[in-house]
Structure 1
Amino acid sequence: MKSNGWLHSFRHSSPYINAHRGRTVVLTIPGDAVEHENFINIIHDIALLSSLGVRLVVAFGARPQIQNRLDDAGLESSFSRSLRITPESHLSLVMEATGGLRAHLESQLSMGLVNSPMHNARIRVSSGNYVTAKPVGVLDGIDFGYTGKVRRVDVAGIEKLLEQGHIVLLPPMGYSPTGDAFNLLYEDVGSQVAAALQAEKLIVFIDDQGLLEQDGSLIRELTARQAPERLADGTVSGHDADLLRAACDACVKGVRRAHIISYVNDGALLEELFTRDGTGTLVSGDHYEQIRQARAEDIGGILGLIEPLEEQGILVRRPREMLETDIEHFVVAERDGTIVGCAALHNYPDEGAGELSCFAVDAAYRRAGRGDEILLMVEKQARSQGIQKLFVLTTQTEHWFRERGFQPSTVQALPGPKLASYNTQRNSKVFFKPL
């Protein structure tokens, strides 16, 4: 009997549910999202995450709400460096707009209507002066007034609320020891709080599916090292650029991953957290964080990855016992608990050479640059071991290696021990690359 689609999805989401239980996730929600018709679904999804034991911090923005207050009062607002200039005469209206939006969010998270996803949710929401701020000051001769930036986060205070099961709601406001209030960027609040808490994830909501290429296609992954290129060439610009910088800053400071997702698409939050590939743009501090030294518990995942390639004759067959013996030579690419790539490095110190072997990448990730990242990791390890050149034996992937600097060589050029075990029936081609 074939399972229903929802049942299949539910079963496959269980590892992610377990992985996120007890972890801290920071959500950054712009004021535009609060006014969108899909926001009620985001509220329901936040309630679901809370019921599943995810520790949630919500940093919200209020830019359109502030603008409406200023417009109603007949006051003009100006911006510089993507920051609203906040003179003292505007501050009370900024605080009114922010306070009103905070009350609205608390009311939405307190819903408990029968026959709704929020029924009996009993969510506790807390907010307060957990962000200490300082003024931006004068930049390029412009006095930003009561516009500020995050100075310090009360980690102990937030952690205490999270331990009690509260959702912590943080407005785009900060306070100074002198009693002043400052208008903050919500993305800065979210990024700095996520870093201070060493959160598992930072979720950034935007109106698109995620960050987009210039042709409109989705950028699925970026590292903090790659982001400046996209910013410099104009691929990511405007407010999206500010959000990307905030996401990168959080990741560089220790947040495991940031996800830039849509507040327009229903279920984007759940799909990003509870499926392997998600829906938006993944930002990480360094791609090597996903590529690591293999451990004994990875053997099953490696076997699942290489067995189809062994059956096709692309890789030499390796029984489990051999992997158990050689596991210390392997690196793996891991994505949400699944091994999606692997490679082994064997050192021949007498010849100053190293063999790259058992190189495999899941078919779904071969165009995402995963193979190149694994190769870079192996080359880095090889150099650290004093290896001067890498060699690889291949029967079907010679062009991939040649495109990456490997040059054709002869069987006789192999190190002595490898030459002695060369399988003439496979007739593998030999390629070397100097390091």
Structure 2
Amino acid sequence: MHINTTPADFVAWFRSVAPYINSFRGKTFVIAFGGEMVEDGKFTALTHDFNLLAALGIRLVLVHGARPQIEQHSARKNLEDNYHQGIRLTDTQTMQCVKESVGRVRVEIEALLSMGLANSPMANADIRLAGGNFITAQPIGVINGVDLQHTGCVRKVDVAALKNRLNFGEVVLLSPLGYSPTGEVFNLTLEDVATSTAIALDADKLVFLMDTDGVQSDHGDTLKELTVAQAQAALASKRVQSDDINLFLPCAIRACEAGVARTHLISRHTDGAVLQELFSDDGIGTMVVESTLNTLRDASIEDVGGILQLLRPLEEQGILVRRSRELLEQEIERFVVLEHDHRIVGCAALYPFPDEAAAELACLAVDAQCRDKGYGEAILDHMAVLAKSQKLKKLFVLTTRTAHWFLERGFIESPVTALPAQKKSLYNYQRKSKVFVRKI
């Protein structure tokens, strides 16, 4: 715990990550990082994060690159780096450099992942690494008259063998090399190995560590979440992005279209980037998903616990009237919930008064960590449409602390007499809630 962190802050933080810890257990994550991570000495910190993920029961497949090491080795042998349409041309001499460089990088990674230093996150670590000929490759061949020789692409991933190692609790480490049935070795790209493996394993997450923070907006802000359609639009716009984004974003799109649930593009320069991205709502990079993570739906009895979690803090502050679990269960058909990535982050209830063509909007609540994202407004708009579909003419709310929020959204402060007769008879004059009404 940081020296300036209070016990209360620590408890709040730990509770906030608990849902992720629970949902990630047993899931498969493919994490890809370039040889730069090893070259600049930052891989030690990353090993600590990998150890933590493995300790939480996450099935890890790590894919490493070796580009800077290959380039340095080639330079020492006075070999020229040849690229054709952005793809390395791997002749016989270069292939020898590739094999030697990849081998050295892999040994160094294995050594760092084997550390068990006292007073470090790796203390008593028991990471068992697995490797092997899991990737079958084929030559890319001739492109526009240029033979790329030993440069290849993934042809097949041995899913059964990989799952066997993961089922034994081992962390799989894949190198950017592939083998053919005829015994040839091919130089592959990190992104091809990682993407193909994630697709073949039907991974829950694919993570790329890169030099930039993620996809940038026109204003220079990192876009936290993109659907596949939005990511494709960003690429089609030809807006200037980093080389890494132009390389990895198409891989993210390909993975999500093929069934990988989430792909994350994050900066390798941020300490704890993997943990910050995976264990917080906002993350620190860009997450690409097949479609939006938000689902607004009718509540069911299974949602009672999640709704209570949202309502209790507001009830304790006196913002909402306390409801018992029993009452909530009885009235659950009145509620809708907003889910973000399968976690309830918002709710509201609608109580119609058809004789007076009105409906009360009650229990509108949004998780404190998810405010300022438009979730409350989305729920309000949904409830207005729902009320309108029931031939109702106006919505009203009773509130003590959120008057301005409703005023900003078209509600008008009204006297208690504006309430439907049944609601007016139950009005609590001691609580003195203000009444706001909006025509729909």
Shorter-normalised TM-score: what interval? Answer: 0.7 to 0.9
Corresponding residue for residue 180 of structure 2? 176
Under a length normalisation based on structure 1, what TM-score does the superposition of the two structures give? 0.77
Counterpart check, 1:239 vs 2:244: yes
CA shift, 1:92, in A, is 2.1
Among candidates 244, 251, 259, match of residue 254 of structure 1: 259
Any unmatched runs of 5+ in structure 2?
1-5, 353-358, 413-419, 428-433
Q: How many residues align?
A: 419
Closer, same or farther: CA 333–260 of 1 in aligned 2, 3 Å: farther
CA distance in 2, matches of 1:183, 1:345: 61
Give the 3 Å change call, closer, same or farther, for CA 278–366 of structure 1 in structure 2: same
Instruction: Give the unaligned 5+ runs of structure 1.
Output: 348-353, 403-407, 409-418
Which residue number in structure 1 is paired with residue 48 of structure 2?
44
- Give CA-to-partner distance per residue, 1:243-293, whole Å, 9 cap, x none: 222223223322222222232222222233334433332222211465555
- Tell whether 2:159 aligns with 1:124: no
Question: Given the two structures, how large is their TM-score scaled by the length of structure 2?
Answer: 0.76
CA distance in 2, matches of 1:84, 1:330: 57
Partner of 1:102: 106
Q: Aligned letter for 1:333?
A: L
After TM superposition, list the pairs within 5 Å mapping 1:24-423 onto structure 2: 24-231=28-235, 232-234=237-239, 236-288=241-293, 294-305=299-310, 323-325=328-330, 327=332, 331-335=336-340, 338-342=343-347, 360-362=365-367, 364-370=369-375
The residue identity in structure 2 corresponding to 1:248 is I
Q: Distance in 2 between matches of 1:3 and 1:322?
A: 34
Indicate the SS of the match to 2:149: coil
For residues 346 and 139 of structure 1, what CA distance do their matches in structure 2 show? 66
Farther-moved stretch of structure 1 (174-183 vs 155-164): 174-183
Q: Deviations for 1:295-350, whole angstroms, at most 9, x for unmatched residues?
A: 32322333444577899999999875665355457553334664222356899xxx
- Offset of 1:41 from its aligned partner? 0.6
Aligned mates of 1:54, 1:129 — CA distance in 2? 23
The alignment partner of 1:230 has SS state of helix
Contact kept in structure 2, 1:146 and 1:183, CA below 8 Å: yes
Give the Cα–Cα distance (whole angstroms) in 2 for the partners of residues 238 and 372 of structure 1: 37
Identity of aligned residues (%): 43
Is the 2:299–2:337 contact (alpha carbons within 8 Å) kept by the matching residues of 1? Answer: yes
Native 8 Å contact 1:288 1:377 kept in 2: no
Which structure has the larger Rg? 2
What are the Cα deviations for residues 157-208 of structure 1, in whole angstroms up to 9, with x where unaligned?
0111111111100111222233332222212221221222222222221233
Q: CA deviation at 1:13?
A: 3.6
The answer (yes or no) to whether the contact 1:276–1:336 under 8 Å persists in 2 is no
* TM-superposed deviation, 1:42: 0.5
What amino acid is aligned across from residue 110 of structure 2 in structure 1? E
**AA at the equivalent of 2:153:** K
Q: 1:287 corresponds to which letter in structure 2?
A: T
> Is the 1:357–1:392 contact (alpha carbons within 8 Å) kept by the matching residues of 2?
no
Hey, what's the Cα distance between the residues in 2 that align with 1:226 and 1:279? 18
